[in-house]
Amino acid sequence: MRSLMKIVTFLFLVVISMVAVSCGPGNQASQQTPTSPPSASASQMSVSIFTDQSGLFGFSPKTLTVPVGMTVTWKNTTQVAHTVTSDDGASFDSGIVPAGGTFTFTFSKAGSYAYHCDIHPYMKATIVVK
């Protein structure tokens, strides 16, 4: 009886180890399968219009460098309206962007585009297109 128990125990351990071996790589493979993160070559980048700690509004990042052809989306995360207006008065002008609204512009020419908010002239930032 004792030897039978030993054999049963041995077989049990063999089965367990086989299951562990056969399952191991499978589990690892599924864990390592990347849930493909958004690639850096995305065709869209964004600037957030935010309220800082002292209650002032601003663009973040203040300077954004993008490749030619990039589409930039401004997201107004504040509680009031703003504009995204190029300093040259010609390149782009969002008009009023309401609280929670967005403005999108595609930069097809290289250059440095300084812009501001018409409502809050202290809000200044730059898009550099290379």
Enumerate binding residues for Cu ion (CB under 5 A). 57, 82, 117, 119-120, 123
To the nearest whole angstrom, how small is the minimum distance from the Cβ of residue 57 to Cu ion?
A: 5
Nearer to Cu ion, 64 or 123 (CB): 123
Nearer to Cu ion, 28 or 77 (CB): 77
Q: Which of 75, 86, 80, 77 is nearest to 129 (CA)?
A: 86
SS3 state at 100: coil
Which residue has 């071996």 as its token pair?
21
Nearer to Cu ion, 47 or 123 (CB): 123
To the nearest whole angstrom, how small is the minimum distance from the Cβ of residue 78 to Cu ion?
A: 8
